[in-house]
Structure 1
Amino acid sequence: MKFKRMLLGFSFLIGVPVLAQTPTYQDVSKPIEERVKDALSRMTLEEKIAMTHAQSKFSSPGVPRLGIPEVWATDGPHGIRPEVLWDEWEQAGWTNDSCIAFPALTCLAATWNPEVSHLYGKSIGEEARYRKKDILLGPGVNIYRTPLNGRNFEYMGEDPYLSATMVVPYIKGVQENGVAACVKHYALNNQEFKRHTTNVNLSDRALYEIYLPAFKAAVQEGGTWSIMGSYNLYQGIHACHNKRLLQDILRDEWGFDGVVVSDWGGVHDTEQAIFNGLDLEFGSWTNGLSDGTRSAYDNYYLADPYLKLIREGKVGTKELDEKVGNILRLIFRTSMNTGKPFGSLGSPEHGKAGRTIGEEGIVLLQNTNNLLPIDLNKAKTIAVVGENAIKMMTVGGGSSSLKVKYEISPLDGLVQRIGSKAKVVYARGYVGDPTGEYNGVKSGQDLKDDRSEDELLAEALAAAKTADYVIFIGGLNKSNNQDCEDTDRAALELPYAQNRVINELAKVNKNLIVVNISGNAVAMPWVKSVPAIVQGWYLGSEAGTALASVLVGDVAPSGKLPFTFPVRLEDVGAHKLGEYPGNAGELAQSTHAGDTINETYHDDIYVGYRWADKEKIQPLFPFGHGLSYTTFAYGKPTADKQTMTADATITFTVTVKNTGTREGQEVVQLYISDKKSSLPRPVKELKGFKKVKLAPGEEQTVTLTIDQKALSYFDDAKHAWIAEPGKFEALVGSSSRDIKGAVPFELR
């Protein structure tokens, strides 16, 4: 009779009921490393191999026998990609996978606000969690080396300190949702032209000082759970299985304990993938996959070829256990994390977050005679000109193309905000890319216009002549050879004859505002003829509302440029020194797509403002530049000590006062200048910043503290960071070229 009294969850030994024990790997109370070890001990060789490569376009297998779930990845970093079919790039046709598009990461970097970066990460992480994604393929932190890089809009600018500071809160916000951030593209993905075959050569000093700091911060400060390898080669080896990058630096020097994910199609060799630090292989174009064979994924480099080498005794299983251990650790942090929140998708809160990010990132580049903000009490007619006023920008750009719940265009945002206060008239002005389908996502727009360039211009001029304000909204778009993955821009100049339109508009209306929508710098030969210029970025779902709120003055602009706007390409080191986009001789002799092209970074550590400072070049707009609708006065900066020792810190203090008539935000920037060094150093380098909000007449004291790290350079010969005793200077200002005060100090 006692056996009839058995309860669920009990087992019996000699008639005595005993609680069934939860396997260690399933016990969330146990340390993750114990769970990883236990799960590994229960897996077969075949199960382990299966976990190291994809089973579909965006997923890899778990271990169904043990209840270990699959890993699902999704493209970011600006919104959650719509679902595609299991084994094809075609859209799956879901009706519940529309997302909120957040501003592109150039805009996020332009906020210079770590709190806003955390809001971004938290919000996009909630959308990824709701969609049951385990890995968000973003953010990107590759350095802006040339304004022609088609993928710059996905990154955080030219400065390693700014990128490092802004990426950390984004990662933390994402991973609070039990979703792994996957920081990309590691490393040296600084151009899209021949991205699969460009072999990058550069000094260790440039590597460590310029191109790695944001990745290092992502690992050591952000605690990112995954890293994505890049397509290019470094020292002759592809980055997705490059021992120097993945083993020596990422794991041995930085202590990374997460998963290294290949970019889709970034793997090229089985043995290198085994021994050089890759964990999870996605998207390889092996024989079979391109032909649609059912067993295509078994042909991946870390699939049957790996299994065959083990069975033949040619390689051991030590590396396999390390890879699977890393993947299991990721699974326990994400899909098997029982404490993670539920997330949310397409919520009003996420729309509001996107608008906030956009408003803080918009940069007022020029505002002659305080033309902006638009005075709606005086404006009766406002003429809006330009294709980018109506073109959807959430669609296109490559893997970051999104299917959005909604997108408010700049024209619609202005009409909604202005309402009945003024008449808004629209003229196309130019025709750029009228298509509306990218990466399988259809915008639903048909922007075809067969009118000639002259006809379009005539219509725009007619509208402009009688308007109180003219707002030209142009720039780039996310089509090939503009701001788009897998292609670089053809030139620095604006496409589609926009310069002609802007020049002619300036002749007929002195109240001309140019809004440049782009993720890259553009040439502005008309800069002296246009009183107001705004850098508008790709602003996502709330593009129109964010832009309108700044143009009419609901919000004072507070963005600062995260990269330098050069006057011409020759003002950029990568172009002046002649090797972008690769060795000219090799480019000329290249006969097929697989030819490797070598590119040497002759600009070395002198990227962006560092190059402009060194060569004494006046940029169009400098790094860190951005105006407001109010004004700020800086006091004299001071330091808490004149001499610091190697193990100490030094704090700089400056007062900032809002001397205008409205509230605004200012970014106080701290640059450090080494007055005498054994090795050449930049004139100055960003080492601190703080964004402060001030009411009219309000004054705040801003403090910025640095330590020895901020004074250090990387010594190639010693393979070490060196803080050399001597004289330094702290430069405090509102941009890299607008320095308000200097404080000398010494390191002993």
Structure 2
Amino acid sequence: MKKLFFISLFSACVFINPLIAQNNSESMDKKIEEIIKQLTLKEKLDMCHAQSKFSSKGVARLGIPELWMSDGPHGVRAEIEWDTWNHAQWTNDSCTAFPALTCLAATFNPDLSYKYGKAIGQEARYRKKDVLLGPGVNIYRTPLNGRNFEYMGEDPYLASKMVVPYIHGVQENGVAACVKHYVLNNQEHWRDHINVELSDRALYEIYLPAFKAAVQEGKVWSIMGAYNQFRGQYCCHNELLVNKILKKDWAFDGTLITDWGATHNTKQAALYGLDIEMGTGTDGLTSSSKNAYDNYYLANPLRKMIENGEIEESVVDDKVRRILRLMFRTSMNKSRPFGSMNSQEHFDIAREIAQEGIVLLKNEDNFFPIDPKTTKTIAIIGENATKVMTLGGGSSELKTIHEISPLQGFQERFTNANILHAMGYSSGPSVYGRVIPSKLNAKSLRSQAVKIASQADMVLYVGGLNKNHHQDCEGDDRLQFELPFEQEKLLSEILKVNKNTALILVSGNAVEMPWISKVKAIAQVWYLGSEAGHAIADIISGDVNPSGKLPFTFPVKLEDNAAHSFGKLSYPGDGKNQEYKEDILVGYRWHDTKNIKPLFEFGFGLSYTNFDITNTSSDKNTYHSNDTISISCEIKNTGKVDGKETIQIYAKDKSSSVLRPSKELKGFKKINLRAGESKTIQIKIPVKKLSFFDDTNMNWKLEKGEFQFLIGTSSRNIYQSIDIKVE
């Protein structure tokens, strides 16, 4: 009987939980119109702006609840006080910290993206959050951007394919994903005011696609506007971006929420599509009336404009309509599940994503994997071996229930080894908005590290960046491309006494590597969250074969990056304006089109085994605009261990009337193969995806002619090609 009970309960949950079908019903729209008729103007406006740092008002007399939001996108942020940014000091708000989104993108695995979204959505639901402020899909334009670690890389196709399942996973829990930052928030320096100028082609081909996919394929329920300006208007109330593109062209039926403090004008906020204004006041009602919630742009100032006849009340009705729709999908959805938090399942998902996202960049003489039964002496050197990485970084900071450090992970896995540890360098404490130098003596830290390096059979140097200000952190950008905190000097001294040294690079960004020829191996491990140390040890020990691929290009030097090759006006701007002079040639598009050899190319990642791609073919030779191209190939694991490989398909337009990149990613698929196993796979590409944005007609254009498909395992490691014609 117990088994029958649980089966019937599960069946009932499945029956009542198709949220999307329910949320799009006509009955919901009718209810919304009935509610709007009963609301006073004051009640409507109260719903359009914050009532605390992370909530907006409902209407108590009608039983309409508040909306509660939480920062993401890597976990549910600790509770914040009502009117300040201080932690509320709760004892039950520790979360599972999932890997940063750069790591998720590096998995090239949409199935893992869905698992990620579902798990973080369950945690948000358990904490009674209605809106999770994430994921982020701003394009990686410069390796100095302090917030790149929160995003999904440099390629719009990859970001589009990875963001959609994340949204689906989150929203299955009755929690709204809030995709951010719409749009062109591609640097933190001067983010609150810089005006971005770029071509329509670059806007539509590079910077909008992931947001469009989030809306039209992900059916996302909310979007967060960006801080910066675009063509002279702030992005949170921008007539072109919001009214025309987002709400008209893409038919977005959800809610546009500001980034905190990103509203600047009452009339524009009212007329140009902003729905909920957050964070305009920094002190709420605690110390003065100046920043009181009723004085937000969409509060009393808008009320006066409506009462004076300057703006129609119907403008507010549209905002309330969208907010109520969001509420019916979240806070007023009685059938949403209860959620869960800090379960073993969530830790396992975090670990699996971390494992698949780690990228093996170099492995001279098969330095990795290290036999977990080894009795050798291993020196673990570097502050990042023990530094907590879930703290800091800005709004993505997390209070996690545990964070396994790299050192702990190595100690637990290599139990027979003699493990030594030295800090080597110190970055100082993490404080948002400013740098506090370390009080530790750099010379003595270095000396101690060199001493233990000389005593070891091998050195694992765990360095890179961290979440401090001017590193991988919201609020400003990096100040240097090379490793900070005199790490290059430390590495140089270590290598003098022990050449058997490998680097475990913890970062969300590319770094300069003038020392690359001197280290035996390099693993790019990102910020991996709660299970960081376990996942790193899984890869280094060979328990898991690395399969991550770089979601962005590592340039040899900063000037090789497109944004930095055009001077100050291109990056960071002149303080007022900025021009994206590289246009559509971002990342590998720039390197490959201009034939600039990168340090590591987009899509690159090594394995402990080898793969071969053969027998590539397409289903036919000539296609029309409504066709779908089917490309098949055989992939074989030719090595001695099981592993995963990502087949990547790039398109080259051989006869275009306009400048196009030498190649663009149009399809990918991750395959798991046992040693010696072969599989034949198919990847389908709609012919329309070969279009470019024609800025003379402001529409997508597909030209007839010859195209070449390049099939490989990175943007530069191409195995075979296929030529086709489009009529």
Alignment TM-score, normalising by the size of structure 1: 0.92
Tell me the alpha carbon deviations over residues 380-416 of structure 1, each in whole angstroms, 9 at most, x when there is no partner: 2111000000000000000011111111111011111
Aligned twin of 2:9: none
CA contact (8 A) 2:55 2:68 kept: yes
Alignment equivalent of 1:429, drawn from 417, 421, 424: 424
- Pair 1:543 & 2:532 matched: yes
Aligned twin of 1:31: 27
Q: Distance in 1 between matches of 2:252 and 2:125?
A: 23
Aligned twin of 2:8: none
- Pair 1:169 & 2:165 matched: yes
- Offset, 1:28: 11
Instruction: Flag the 1:604–1:48 CA change in 2: closer, same or farther, 3 A.
Output: same
- Offset, 1:417: 1.4
1:317 counterpart letter in structure 2: E
CA contact (8 A) 1:395 1:437 kept: no
Aligned twin of 1:186: 182
Q: Which moved more, 1:126-135 or 1:311-320?
A: 311-320
CA contact (8 A) 2:175 2:330 kept: yes
CA contact (8 A) 2:553 2:600 kept: yes
Aligned twin of 1:245: 241
Tell me the alpha carbon deviations over residues 87-123 of structure 1, each in whole angstroms, 9 at most, x when there is no partner: 1111111100011110000000000000000000000
Q: Secondary structure at the match of 1:635?
A: strand
Tell me the alpha carbon deviations over residues 321-366 of structure 1, each in whole angstroms, 9 at most, x when there is no partner: 0000000000000011111110011111111111111001000001
Alignment equivalent of 1:222, drawn from 194, 218, 225: 218
1:452 counterpart letter in structure 2: A
- Pair 1:475 & 2:470 matched: no
Aligned twin of 2:709: 730
Q: Distance in 2 between matches of 1:253 and 1:601?
A: 24
Q: Distance in 2 between matches of 1:364 and 1:468?
A: 21
- Offset, 1:702: 1.5
Aligned twin of 2:295: 299
Aligned twin of 2:14: none
- Offset, 1:710: 2.0
* Structure 1 segment 92-491 matched on structure 2, within 5 A: 92-285=88-281, 291-293=287-289, 296-419=292-415, 421-433=416-428, 435=429, 450-453=440-443, 455-491=444-480
- Pair 1:44 & 2:34 matched: no
Q: Secondary structure at the match of 1:103?
A: coil
Q: Distance in 2 between matches of 1:238 and 1:29?
A: 34
CA contact (8 A) 2:83 2:284 kept: no
Gaps of 5+ in 1: 1-25, 441-445, 588-596
Tell me the C-alpha RMSD between the 2 structures: 1.9
Aligned twin of 2:580: 601
Q: Distance in 2 between matches of 1:622 and 1:393?
A: 26
- Pair 1:565 & 2:535 matched: no
Alignment equivalent of 1:699, drawn from 674, 678, 694: 678
Instruction: Flag the 1:286–1:664 CA change in 2: closer, same or farther, 3 A.
Output: closer
1:467 counterpart letter in structure 2: A
Q: Secondary structure at the match of 1:686?
A: strand
CA contact (8 A) 2:570 2:580 kept: no
2:670 counterpart letter in structure 1: K
- Offset, 1:647: 1.2
Q: Secondary structure at the match of 2:648?
A: strand
Q: Which moved more, 1:136-145 or 1:696-705?
A: 696-705
Instruction: Flag the 1:259–1:28 CA change in 2: closer, same or farther, 3 A.
Output: closer
Q: Secondary structure at the match of 1:177?
A: coil
Q: Secondary structure at the match of 2:319?
A: helix
CA contact (8 A) 1:151 1:191 kept: yes
- Pair 1:631 & 2:610 matched: yes
Q: Which moved more, 1:571-580 or 1:182-191?
A: 571-580
Q: Secondary structure at the match of 1:55?
A: strand
Aligned twin of 2:68: 72
Tell me the alpha carbon deviations over residues 9-46 of structure 1, each in whole angstroms, 9 at most, x when there is no partner: xxxxxxxxxxxxxxxxx999862211211111111111
Q: Alignment length, in residue pairs?
A: 705
Q: Secondary structure at the match of 2:51?
A: coil
Q: Distance in 2 between matches of 1:290 and 1:249?
A: 39
Aligned twin of 2:501: 512
Tell me the alpha carbon deviations over residues 262-318 of structure 1, each in whole angstroms, 9 at most, x when there is no partner: 000000000000000000000003897684449800000000001111112221111
Q: Secondary structure at the match of 1:117?
A: helix
CA contact (8 A) 1:379 1:468 kept: no
2:72 counterpart letter in structure 1: G
CA contact (8 A) 2:609 2:643 kept: yes
2:419 counterpart letter in structure 1: V
Tell me the alpha carbon deviations over residues 111-168 of structure 1, each in whole angstroms, 9 at most, x when there is no partner: 0000000000000000000000000000000000000000000000000000000000
Instruction: Flag the 1:709–1:292 CA change in 2: closer, same or farther, 3 A.
Output: farther
Q: Secondary structure at the match of 2:615?
A: coil
Instruction: Flag the 1:739–1:488 CA change in 2: closer, same or farther, 3 A.
Output: same
* Higher radius of gyration, 1 or 2: 1
Q: Secondary structure at the match of 2:609?
A: coil
Q: Secondary structure at the match of 1:682?
A: coil
Q: Distance in 2 between matches of 1:662 and 1:27?
A: 47
CA contact (8 A) 1:401 1:439 kept: no
CA contact (8 A) 1:310 1:316 kept: yes
- Pair 1:492 & 2:481 matched: yes
Q: Distance in 2 between matches of 1:239 and 1:436?
A: 30
CA contact (8 A) 2:280 2:291 kept: no
Q: Distance in 1 between matches of 2:24 and 2:684?
A: 40
State the percentage of identical aligned residues.
55
Tell me the alpha carbon deviations over residues 480-520 of structure 1, each in whole angstroms, 9 at most, x when there is no partner: 11100011000111001111222222232232110110000
Q: Secondary structure at the match of 2:349?
A: helix
CA contact (8 A) 1:288 1:295 kept: yes
CA contact (8 A) 2:282 2:291 kept: no
CA contact (8 A) 1:582 1:598 kept: no
Tell me the alpha carbon deviations over residues 237-277 of structure 1, each in whole angstroms, 9 at most, x when there is no partner: 00000010001000111010000000000000000000000
Tell me the alpha carbon deviations over residues 535-587 of structure 1, each in whole angstroms, 9 at most, x when there is no partner: 01000011110111111111010000000000111101110011356576x44
Q: Secondary structure at the match of 1:252?
A: helix
CA contact (8 A) 1:193 1:581 kept: no
CA contact (8 A) 1:382 1:425 kept: yes
1:347 counterpart letter in structure 2: S
Q: Secondary structure at the match of 1:636?
A: strand
- Pair 1:712 & 2:691 matched: yes
Q: Distance in 2 between matches of 1:30 and 1:598?
A: 46
Gaps of 5+ in 2: 1-21
Aligned twin of 2:10: none
Q: Which moved more, 1:206-215 or 1:466-475?
A: 466-475
Q: Secondary structure at the match of 2:440?
A: coil
